[in-house]
Structure formats: C-alpha cells, structure tokens
Structure 1
C-alpha cells in the first residue's frame, strides 16, 4: 500500500488504534463546534456574563493546558532510556513544544480575564493523553519495518520553522498591550495583514513537522484533527474581529491560510 511508503505499520495495540480514531473525530467535532459559535470558554471567547463560579485566571488555566504535557515529555527520557534516534527526536520536539508554550504563558503572554475550569481541565487532559499516546505509539513502532521514505529530517526543519513562526506572532500579539491594558486590538505586523491567526498557521506547520518525524498513524490523525480544530478556531476568531471592529477590520484578511481561508 502507498501509505506504507510514509508510515510505520499500525502497531499491535487496540488502545493506540482506537485512540487514533477517537482523537481525530473528537478534534474534528471540536473544530466544527468552534465554527458554529459554540466556543471553548477561554481567551476572547470567555463569556463572563454566562459563567458561574467555576472559573480561574487565564494564566493559571493556560499553565494547566501545557505544564502536565511538558513534565510528561521530561519524564519520558527517564522512562524510555536508550532508544533509537527517531524516538529521542519525537520526545525532544514534544517536550520543546510544551516547554516553549509554558515559558510564553509565564513571560510573554498578557492576560485580560478568566476561563472556565472545565475548559482548562478538558484541554490540558486532551494534550496530556494525546502526547502520551503519541510517545507510546512511537515506542511500539521501533521494531516495525521502517517506511520507505524517511521524513524525520524534513520534519525537524518544518518543526523549527513552525515553532519559530508561532513564537514570533505570539510575541507580536503580546506587544499590542501595554502594562495594565486589557483591551483587544487589531494585530499588525508579521503575517497579520494576510491572516488573523498566523500563529495557528505556524502551529499547523509545526505539527506537520512532528508527524514527519514520527511517521505513525496516531500522530497523523492527531495532526489532521488539529488542523480541523484550528480551522474552526481561526474562523471564529476572524468572525469575532469583524464583529468587534466593524468597518476597521480588513475584509481581505483571511482566517488561517493567506488568500484562501
């Protein structure tokens, strides 16, 4: 089969195979819900008027998103010592991704509100379970026949491009607000003149890179699902900006992909 040219065979694990399907379906549904306006309650979509007491600060919530997966990545170096190069690369890029996100929460992002506790726990648990399954699937693949095309170095290049572009546009977003400023503004600089969510676009590049490093079915399903999720979130974000900044938001600015979407 053509797929065997690019991916390891499916592992002999019912858990990994079921999780591949569930992960993809869940992320696609989440993306659809974002697109129709049923957004996860954090950042600009947090509805303070409709919330109850089960909320926490955005900064703490974002740390709940990312730090468990970062510690999981670090622990994986101890739990799985003396593995092959690809496996070490997989753990490394996942750990770097969540370490970078944690540092951004602590030192880069400027927060203006709260989020629902349920959103923080659900998203943090999703990242943790997906990361753990990604690592486990990679561990199982080490004894399987290798794909005909080795994409791991292409993947590293894409990962570095994606994580750099994502950080750069996060930095631009953080620079929009001065100390004590909690108002949203129309982003300018970088690729914001083309798309309202270039940080999402580069995150997709980053995870396509991770898929190329892994070359496992689960990671490809996770990446495909992430693309659908970020399409939905970026669509909702663009709609929010058009509504909030009526007449001032550039109609030619797309949601995620320059000139297309």
Structure 2
C-alpha cells in the first residue's frame, strides 16, 4: 500500500486509535465553529458579548496571560517527563519528544515575555484547552513509542521534517514578535499588523504553525500525528478566517481586501 511508504503501521492500541480520531474530529469541529462565528473564548474574541457578565461569572475568569500559560505548561511537562519515562530510545523517537517539548517551551516563553494581553478567559475554557493539548501530546508520544516495534517506512522523512519544523517555529516566533510590537505599554487598542508576511495573510503565525506541525508529522511518520496535524490545519483555517472577519469589521474600509486569512493568494 502507498501509505506504508510514508507511515508506520497503525499500532494495535485502542487508546491511540480512539484518541487520535477523537482529536481529529474535535479539531475539525472547532475549526467549523470558528468559521461559523462561534469563536473560542480567548485572545481578541474573549470579551465579545461580555458586557453583561454577572459577578459570579467574573470570579470564574483568568487573566489571559495566566490562562495561556495553563494552555501550554502541562504539555511541556509531558514532553519533559517523556525523556525519563522512555530512556534509551532510537533517534527518531528522541527527535519527536524534543520537537514537541521545544514547541510548548517556546509557547510558554512567548506567553511570559513576548505576548501582550488585555483580556481574560473563563477558567473552564483554559482547563479544557489545556487538557486537549496534553492528551494530544501524550498520545503522539505514545504512538511513536509503539511504532518502534514496526519496520521503518520506505521513505525516511525525519530530517526533511526537522527542517520544516525549524522553519515553522522560527516564522511563527518572528510574526508573534511583530504582533507584540504593535501596542506600546498601556495601549489596549488593536492595530492592523504590518511587516513580515502580514501584507499577504492576516495570520502568518498560523501559517507557520501549520508548517511546523507538517514538519512534526514528517518526523513522526505515524498516522496518529498526521491526524492531529490535519485537524490543526482545519482549526487554524477556521481561526484565521474568523480573525480576518474580525479585522474587516473592526477596521471597516482600512483593511486590505487582498490580504488573505492563512494561505497567500488562496485562502
């Protein structure tokens, strides 16, 4: 089969197969909801419709910085712990754990030192998203561990994938940095991003995140990670579409019509 040229055989693990399919469906559904205008309760969408919040609801909110830290910290710890739980593994497995751990460590550093926040989010939303990232990360690592019992795919893509991962994580950071410089200290007004690839797409940071996770899939070469990457693509398509619609409505007549959501000249 063609799939065997590029992927390890799917492991006979009910947990891995169930969770990878569940993650795929959940991510596609989230992307569809974003596309439909039902935005996730964080970032610039977090305060939409919040003007009449009750005092009880306000007590169940977190500052966005803390909420975003909660998103990523458990997944980083899972990656870090995997080095001790699965010692003396093959180079591909070590590479998989490394790139996933680096991905979430970089996210934590950005939350602490790069991003600027002005909103808040619900505690239950932060916990739900954190749990989904943590389970997905653990599932991908465990699927990779099980794949070591199988023959290698005919085409070894791990070093190509490493190049894509490094390109993606670098481009993602660069555009996050540009976003962080838009607002000065104490400034809470949103501005149209300029510089980098923002003249082509409104979410180049998401575009490079897609590149990053395609790279992770090429390093892993497991069906489980491919499903997660495919779901991530659908989620970020929906998220970038929602972001573009927000900018169009927020900056009526000032937002460039030729600026796409995620893919230059196409979408």
The normalised TM-score by structure 1 is 0.99
> CA separation in 2, counterparts of 1:104 and 1:5?
37
Aligned counterpart, 2:199: 193
Segment drifting more, 212-221 vs 16-25: 16-25
Aligned counterpart, 2:34: 34
Q: Residues 50 and 7 (structure 1 numbering): CA distance in 2 closer, same or farther, change over 3 Å?
A: farther
Aligned counterpart, 2:149: 143
> CA separation in 1, counterparts of 2:52 and 2:67?
18
Aligned counterpart, 1:60: 66
Aligned counterpart, 2:44: 44
SS in structure 2 of the partner of residue 56 of structure 1: strand
> CA separation in 1, counterparts of 2:15 and 2:241?
33
- Confirm whether residue 152 of structure 1 aligns to residue 158 of structure 2: yes
- Confirm whether residue 221 of structure 1 aligns to residue 223 of structure 2: no
SS in structure 1 of the partner of residue 12 of structure 2: coil
Question: What are the within-5 Å matches in structure 2 for residues 91-102 of structure 1?
Answer: 91-102=97-108
1:49 positional shift: 2.1
Aligned counterpart, 1:88: 94
Superposed CA offset, 1:236-260 (max 9, x none): 0000000000010001000000000
- Confirm whether residue 11 of structure 1 aligns to residue 11 of structure 2: yes
1:39 positional shift: 0.8
Q: Residues 82 and 50 (structure 1 numbering): CA distance in 2 closer, same or farther, change over 3 Å?
A: farther
> CA separation in 1, counterparts of 2:22 and 2:135?
12
The 4+ residue runs of structure 1 with deviation greater than 6 A are none
Aligned counterpart, 1:173: 179
Correspondent of 1:105 among 105, 111, 114: 111
Superposed CA offset, 1:2-59 (max 9, x none): 0000000010101111112111111000000000011110011112325422211000
1:173 positional shift: 0.0
Where structure 2 has 5 or more consecutive residues not aligned to the other structure, the ranges are none
1:82 positional shift: 0.3
1:113 positional shift: 1.1
Superposed CA offset, 1:87-142 (max 9, x none): 00000000000000000000000111101212211111110000000000000000
Aligned counterpart, 2:254: 248
> CA separation in 2, counterparts of 1:238 and 1:116?
24
> CA separation in 2, counterparts of 1:70 and 1:172?
24
Where structure 1 has 5 or more consecutive residues not aligned to the other structure, the ranges are none
Q: Residues 8 and 252 (structure 1 numbering): CA distance in 2 closer, same or farther, change over 3 Å?
A: same
> CA separation in 2, counterparts of 1:204 and 1:147?
23
